[in-house]
Amino acid sequence: MNKNSFLLIVMIAFLVSSEKTIAQDLNFNDAWLFYNDVAEGAEKPDFNDAKWRKLSLPHDWGIEGPFSNNNNARTGGLPSKGTGWYRKHFKMDKNAEGKLVHIEFEGAMYDAYVWVNGNFVGNRPYGYIGFEFEISKHLKFDGSENVVAVRLTPKDLSSRWYPGAGLYRSVWLKVNNPVHVEQWGAYITTPTVSKKLGVIQNETTIVNSTNLDAKVKVTQEYFSPDGKLAAKIDDEITVKANSKEVSGTWVNVKNPEIWDTENPNIYKAVTTVSKNGKVIDTYNSTFGFRSISFTTEGFFLNGKKVRFNGVCLHHDNGALGAAVYRRADERKLQIMKSMGVNAVRTSHNPPSREFLELCDELGLMVLDEAFDVWKEQKVENGYNVFFEEWAERDIKDMVKRDRNHPSVIMWSTGNEIHEQHNKKNGWKVAKMLHEYCKEIDPTRPTTLGMNNFEAPYKMNFAAQSDIAGINYKPTKYGYIHETYPQLALYGSETSSCTSSRGVYHLPIEKYQKHESNHVTSYDLVGPPWAYPPDVEFHFQEQNPNIMGEFIWTGFDYLGEPTPYGGRDNSTNGYWNADWPSRSSYFGAVDLCGFPKDRFYLYQSHWTTKPMIHLLPHWNWKGMEGEEIPVYCYTNVDEAELFVNGKSMGKRVKGKDFTELKVDFLRYEPKIFNSKYRLSWNVPYEPGTIKVVGYKDGKVVNEKTINTAGKPYQVKLSVDRKEIDADGTDLAYVTIRVEDKNGNLCPNADNLVKFSVKGEGNLIAVDNGDQTSLTSFQAPQRKAFSGMCLAILKSSKTSGKIELTAKSKSLKTDKIIVKTN
């Protein structure tokens, strides 16, 4: 018997012998065995897996690499295809016999087949949706070993971006009494919300899997954000044999603490099910008091008009791949909030449970999206393969799982769906999915992201959702609003500007591709449909009825390396023409989480706390005397630039314009005069450039960039000096190559080698370079634009982790992270 099996037995024995804590979810992430290939007979309990790799979840085998031109660059050039097997050996205590045991997978990529002790228990194709199977009848409770086996077969051309591969989200073993709360069974809404009064409505589904009717008492307790009991109510119901029944209650709460983007107050609901005076189940939920309203004049949160400063985010976390670590998503969302973001679109799939919990806690509104494709394919092995059989189940499960989250404000049934062109049947499919969502949750509107103009409006497609999402049509906002005045509108994908952090190409021009396989950070270049952020800012202001925007994208992501490699529906789905480009350039933040310059352009437009940003770097050896365009992104009144102490003049925000070269679809002028960025053309001379920001005539902030000397040292900083010793918590360490005065060396590409001691390990490295083919698992990384990243993961033992970074001829640095 191994340690994990022993612990599992102990926990299950406690659960089934306790009167008050009968049902509980047991984390099932440890002690798995993995094999990355075809394994005939691996579903059988006596299969010899002695040589299989031991690991803990979450696990994404694709991110382990290696990168290869034989893999599709549009999905990252990583081996996220093939067959992967997972097996887990465990024992059940005899006291668990007679209970209902489920195994729950929060996500498995993809086409999961599951066996328990050689018995097939179920299949779920869609890799982004959670599911569970009841396995009680297949388990042994006599102290002998049980085996669960999972086979995954992700295919090439199943996605338009990196999907990951494996058991990349958590797995749970759930022990319940025959009468219990159904999976995702509590549905909590707040039909009345005011500062004086809030109403909680709770519809909880109770399952009775016995052959006898069951009379039960359902007690609902509600706790305020500070943990105090806010309300309590009981309900008695009879659940007929082998059926379900809904316990419906409502209760008033005086002076509720409202959930909004500034004060994300979270309430807890505890549902207790009792029979004959004994507790037989408890079920915990979280929710928030908030009201939402969408009109043709805008979006209102708790009666206040709010615009979406939104971002689209893919599900991967860079060097960690698709594996879901709570801290990785927390850091990602915190970075977005610091940019001024208040809303997130989960493009183009249901997110993880942790992601939505974090959005609740951080006060981020969520557009929860179901599919990238319906029946008509984009890539040959996409969701279209499963749509007919699984779409209803998948979208209903998404809504059922996520409907208690106060952060979720819209259900998106699809993205740039090809059916938007189908005059005969497209609208019917859109209507069907809309109705599926409304059946499970009538309190939120449905939406669609549409990139075609004007077909979906003329063909009755757009009208099948409550809200029309418009992709990349800022110049048409006014026309659509006037022509279809009944539709509430927002920009569901905007801008699609591309860039590489710290890279600046001169002269400034909009090119299709650059020989370096990088894209200038002057925030100008994008594919044919794309445009600089300034253009969207302008047309949003011209059309105040538009509810805001979701930029493409907040973060870079793995795969889809536009403008390199290919385009949708071309090159037979493969994007390898510009290898080694293998990941996105779209993000305002790179794959490491390091802000690009564009991050600060959005921050200057979306935030009010005085800020100022200056670009480019000031290392232009060999270009002395040549003019360098200098940009300033700020939200203050005016800015003044100094070069080696000499003023280059003031620029006034909103009065002095910067000329941008543009060339995108449905826009005739090739020049856009932007009031959102300030600029100077400055003859280069080494030294210092400094920009000073003024508000009401007074200096409020400044930014200085020095010409850096030769690389002298590596310098480490960490996002958190203390993390949890839980085996999953992460610390992100930023590595900078600096000169002897502490200036970042912006062109440095020194190789940095890492070593780790203590209670943790180096789980991943990166540098944000979209063309690097170095493994994310390697203990070394070259700097890119002077920086790279190391990610540490804790063990389950308290202590400390010591990371040392060395680079040839440079001064070494180290950092210590405590684990508690």
pLDDT in tens, 524-575: 999 999 999 999 999 999 999 999 999 999 999 999 999 999 877 666 789 9
By three-state DSSP, how is residue 402 classified? helix
Regarding beta strands 548-552 and 488-495, do their DSSP bridges make them parallel or antiparallel, or are they unpaired?
A: parallel
CATH class of 612-706: mainly beta
pLDDT band at 23, cuts 50/70/90? low
Determine the pLDDT at residue 6.
Answer: 32
In whole angstroms, what is the distance from residue 250 CA to residue 161 CA?
44
**740 alpha carbon, distance to own chain's centre:** 38
In whole angstroms, what is the distance from residue 93 CA to residue 141 CA?
6
Q: Which of 43, 106, 354, 493 is catalytic?
A: 493
Q: Which helix (H) or strand (E) holds 35?
A: strand 32-35
CATH H superfamily, domain 302-499+528-569: Glycosidases (3.20.20.80)
Regarding beta strands 365-369 and 243-254, do their DSSP bridges make them parallel or antiparallel, or are they unpaired?
A: unpaired
How buried is 572 (Cβ within 10 angstroms: 0-12 exposed, 13-18 middle, 19+ buried)? exposed
| Residue intervals in the chain for CATH 3.20.20.80 | 302-499+528-569
Considering just the CA atoms, what is the radius of gyration of the chain in Å? 28
Regarding beta strands 722-723 and 813-819, do their DSSP bridges make them parallel or antiparallel, or are they unpaired?
A: parallel
In whole angstroms, what is the distance from residue 780 CA to residue 489 CA?
47
Higher-scoring residue by pLDDT: 106, 571: 106
For 136-155, the pLDDT digits (tens) are: 999 999 999 999 999 999 99
Q: Is the confidence at residue 667, as pLDDT, over 90? A: no
Contact predicate 722/712, CB 8 Å: no
CA dist 612 to 497, 551, 653, 671, 693, Å? 21, 21, 12, 25, 7
Lowest pLDDT segment from 263-272, 657-666, 807-816? 657-666
Higher-scoring residue by pLDDT: 665, 57: 57
For 464-493, the pLDDT digits (tens) are: 999 999 999 999 999 999 999 999 999 999
Phi-psi region of 242 (alpha: psi -120 to 50; beta: other; left: phi over 0): left
Cα–Cα–Cα angle for 769, 770, 772, nearest 5°?
65
Residue 749: CB partners within 8 Å, gap ≥ 6? Answer: 782, 783, 784
Give me the mean pLDDT over the 721-731 stretch. Answer: 97
Give me the mean pLDDT over the 18-47 stretch. Answer: 84
Give me the mean pLDDT over the 109-114 stretch. Answer: 97
How much of the chain exceeds pLDDT 70, in percent? 97
Is the link from the previous residue into 315 a cis peptide, with omega within 30 of 0?
Answer: no
Measuring CA to CA, which residue among 399, 356, 403 is closest to residue 187?
403
CATH match of 3-60+83-153 with 3.40.50.720? no
| Residue intervals in the chain for CATH 2.60.40.10 | 179-287, 612-706, 713-819
Residue 91: CA atoms inside 13 Å, Cβ hemisphere, count? 16
In whole angstroms, what is the distance from residue 646 CA to residue 649 CA?
9
Measuring CA to CA, which residue among 154, 128, 118 is closest to residue 46?
118
In whole angstroms, what is the distance from residue 353 CA to residue 357 CA?
6
Helix axes 597-606, 326-339, angle to 10 degrees: 60
Determine the pLDDT at residue 570.
Answer: 64
Determine the pLDDT at residue 668.
Answer: 83
Determine the pLDDT at residue 2.
Answer: 40
How much of the chain exceeds pLDDT 90, in percent? 93
Determine the pLDDT at residue 583.
Answer: 97
Question: Catalytic residue at 330?
Answer: no
SS3 of the chain: helix, strand, coil, percent, to 5: 15, 40, 45
pTM for the complete prediction? 0.96
For 364-374, the pLDDT digits (tens) are: 999 999 999 99
pLDDT band at 669, cuts 50/70/90? confident
Number of H helices, E strands in the chain: 9, 46
Give me the mean pLDDT over the 597-626 stretch. Answer: 98
Give me the mean pLDDT over the 338-350 stretch. Answer: 98
Give me the mean pLDDT over the 750-769 stretch. Answer: 98
CATH class of 179-287: mainly beta
Measuring CA to CA, which residue among 820, 789, 679, 811 is closest to residue 738?
811
Q: Which amino acid, residue 532? A: P
Any idea which residue has 């960490």 for tokens? 718
Q: Is the confidence at residue 3, as pLDDT, over 70? A: no
| Residue intervals in the chain for CATH 2.60.120.260 | 3-60+83-153
Q: Which of 106, 245, 369, 416 is catalytic?
A: 416
**782 alpha carbon, distance to own chain's centre:** 27
Q: How many CB atoms lie within 10 A of CB 713?
A: 17
Determine the pLDDT at residue 569.
Answer: 63
Dihedral sign for Cα atoms in the order 553, 559, 560, 564: positive
Question: Catalytic residue at 297?
Answer: no
Structure tokens at 55: 């690991």
Give me the mean pLDDT over the 343-352 stretch. Answer: 98
By three-state DSSP, how is residue 490 classified? strand
Return the CATH architecture of domain 713-819.
Sandwich (2.60)
For the chain, give the mean pLDDT: 95
pLDDT band at 19, cuts 50/70/90? very low
